[in-house]
Amino acid sequence: MFNRGTCGSAEHVSRRGFLSGATTGAVSALGFSGMTKVAGANELRSQQKRVVLFWLAGGVSQLETWDPKPGTDTGGPFLDIPTSVPGVNVCELLPYTARQMHHLAVVRGVNTKVNDHGKGAYFMQTGHPQTPGFEFPYLGSALSSLLVRPDNPLPGYVCIGGGGSAKESSFLGPRFVPVAVADKPPANMRIADGLTAEEDARRRELRARIGDRFAKGRRAATTEVYDESFDQAAALIAQRDVFDFTGIPDSEVDRYGGGEFARHCLMARQLVEAGSTFTKVTHRNYDTHSENFNFHVEQLGEFDQPFATFVADLADRGLLEHTLVVVMCEFGRTPRINQKMGRDHWGTAWSVALGGMGIQGGAVVGATNANGTKVVDREVHGGHLFHTYYRAVGLDPTADFVHDGRPFTKAKAGSEAIEEILA
């Protein structure tokens, strides 16, 4: 079902519209630095820290997911259901996820004070409110710049289902620009027909010698990035099977619930198993200004089983302890139901879920009042969440980024980690 009740923001793109250009520049975009070795892949896969972000674009309703209020004037028609954690209930639209709540934590006191798609998405993905004339790095670029191991041949930041822009890496540079992938392997992942591996190696050696001679006396960040782009291309070609998702069997797609989003979750699992550092999976169409309840039945029907099965698979395979999983969006939906049976933009009191590495499964922190109109306990915003993500993966969120001699904080000043959900 296409959601005709959206606000028409430029942030909205068709869930399938990204496919026509998703692979453009996938090899030329620089997702990591100096990674020319593929040896030791098995050790890498077992030890590499990973992050998977599920981005529910448009703003999923907290009342139809993590913070239901049945029987109130704002609660809507759905009931809450018990989960695998005694005393923790979620909306009945998440029956599969409810069985995995012992792996997840919920933050119910998010207040960003932002009701604009662009500004909300920026705050939640950078940890800072928008600043005119300056871009902070997005979470995928920031974490990949700090977590990618030097022997990891994969891009540091991969987007599935759309999204990904050169601006996301900001001052971290093109090495950490996200690489977008679609159901098919990215283009240009094989050496040219008629060219042997030995000939390709000699060609690359010649290019490197010419590049070194050119760089003498004029070496700069741009020339180094240019050189590393060739190393990246060679490493990606050596690992091209990681991006070949055509081998995912139909039986696995069916086990994940079937459909496009199920396949995207399986693509994410394949990348996690291969040691990909940061993967973003986008699910769209949550901007429900009209027919909120019908659309959430459909959207969460698409999301629930694939997401829950993804979490269960990571846990069963011993990968969840090395993988931080985050489910978030730009804001929530209004408790008040409008005349079109919709919910509008609401950054005042909503929820985020996360689990896996560094997170106390089953924890719930923060609370809203009886009808969900305001936070009444442990209010947090995007900055607090950013500190929490860094701490969960073993990084110091108080250590600044430094660019051209200037320090830049990782998250909004005055915020700190949400200690109650950290393992």
What tens digit of pLDDT does each residue of 2-18 get? 565 678 765 555 444 43
Is 322 a residue whose pLDDT tops 70?
yes
* Full residue range of the structural domain in which residue 191 is found: 17-421
Helices 221-238 and 197-215 pack at an angle, to 10 degrees, of 170
**pLDDT exceeds cutoff 60 at 44:** no
Over residues 155-190, the pLDDT tens digits come to 899 999 987 888 999 999 888 999 898 887 666 666
Q: Which residue has the tokens 């979620």?
A: 90
Tokens representing residue 337 in the block = 């139901």
* Lowest-confidence pick of 155-164, 289-298, 342-351: 155-164
In a domain, 4, yes or no: no
Q: Residue 222 has what pLDDT?
A: 57
pLDDT of residue 352: 98
| pLDDT band per the 50, 70, 90 thresholds, residue 207 | confident
Helices (H), 182-259: 197-215, 221-238, 250-255
> Measured between alpha carbons, how far is 368 from 346 in angstroms, rounded to an integer?
13
Q: Do the domain assignments include residue 195? A: yes
pLDDT at 42 (0 to 100): 47
Query: Among residues of the chain, what percentage have pLDDT more than 90?
Result: 67
Average pLDDT on 251-276 reads 97
35 pLDDT more than 50: no
In a domain? residue 257: yes
Residue 219 has pLDDT above 60, yes or no: no
In degrees, to the nearest 5, what angle opens at C-alpha 301 toward C-alphas 295 and 303? Answer: 105
Compute the distance between CA of residue 48 and CA of residue 56 in angstroms, rounded to an integer: 26
List the end-to-end C-alpha distance of the chain, in Å, as a whole number.
39
Burial of 310 (0-12, 13-18, 19+ CB in 10 A): buried
Cα 366 from chain centre: 23
Q: How many CB atoms lie within 10 A of CB 258?
A: 14
User: Residue 208: its pLDDT value, please?
Assistant: 73
Report how far apart, in Å, the C-alpha atoms of 305 and of each of 96, 280, 314 are: 5, 18, 14
Token code pair at residue 37: 């070795």
Partnered with residue 341 across adjacent β-strands are: none
Q: Residue 30 — pLDDT band, cuts 50, 70, 90?
A: very low
Q: In this structure, is residue 403 part of a structural domain?
A: yes
In this structure, the number of other CB atoms found within 10 A of the CB of residue 141 comes to 29
Structure confidence at residue 31 (pLDDT): 32
Per-residue confidence (pLDDT) for residue 120, from 0 to 100: 98
Residue 311, SS3 per DSSP: helix
Q: Which is more confident, 39 or 97? A: 97
pLDDT at 227: 61
pTM confidence score: 0.86
For residue 297, tell me if it sits in a domain: yes
Looking at per-residue pLDDT, the higher value among 58 and 48 belongs to 58
Average pLDDT over residues 109-113: 97
What pLDDT score was predicted for residue 225? 58
CATH, residue 402: 3.40.720
pLDDT tens digits, one per residue of 134-157: 999 999 999 999 999 877 878 899
The Cα–Cα gap between 336 and 343 comes to 7
What is the pLDDT at residue 213?
Answer: 73
Residue bearing the bigger pLDDT, 213 or 275: 275
Q: Which two tokens stand for residue 96?
A: 């599969």
CA distance 97 to 303: 9
Cα dihedral 121→122→124→127 (10° resolution): 180
Q: In the chain, pLDDT over 70 holds for what percent of residues?
A: 82
422: Cβ–Cβ under 8 A, 6 or more apart, which residues? 358, 359, 360, 388, 391, 392
pLDDT in the model for residue 203:
78
| pLDDT of 379 higher than 80 | yes
Which tokens hold the place of 189?
């992942």
Determine the average pLDDT of the residues in 183-201: 72
Q: Which uninterrupted H or E stretch holds 97? A: helix 95-98
pLDDT exceeds 70 at position 399: yes
Among residues 329, 408, 72, the alpha carbon closest in space to that of 399 is found at 408
Look at 113-127, 174-188, 260-274 and tell me which has the smallest mean pLDDT.
174-188
The confidence band for 223, taking pLDDT boundaries of 50, 70 and 90, is low
| Residue 5 domain-assigned (yes or no) | no
Inside any domain, residue 201: yes
Cβ of 209: how many Cβ atoms within 10 Å?
10
**Conformational region of residue 401, where left means phi above 0, alpha means psi within -120 to 50, and beta covers everything else:** beta
| Residue 6 maps to a domain | no
Q: How confident is the model at residue 29 (pLDDT cuts 50, 70, 90)?
A: very low
Indicate the number of domains in the chain: 1
Taking a C-beta distance cutoff of 8 angstroms, is the pair 230, 203 a contact?
A: no
pLDDT, tens digit (0-9, with 9 covering 90-100), for 356-370: 999 999 999 999 999
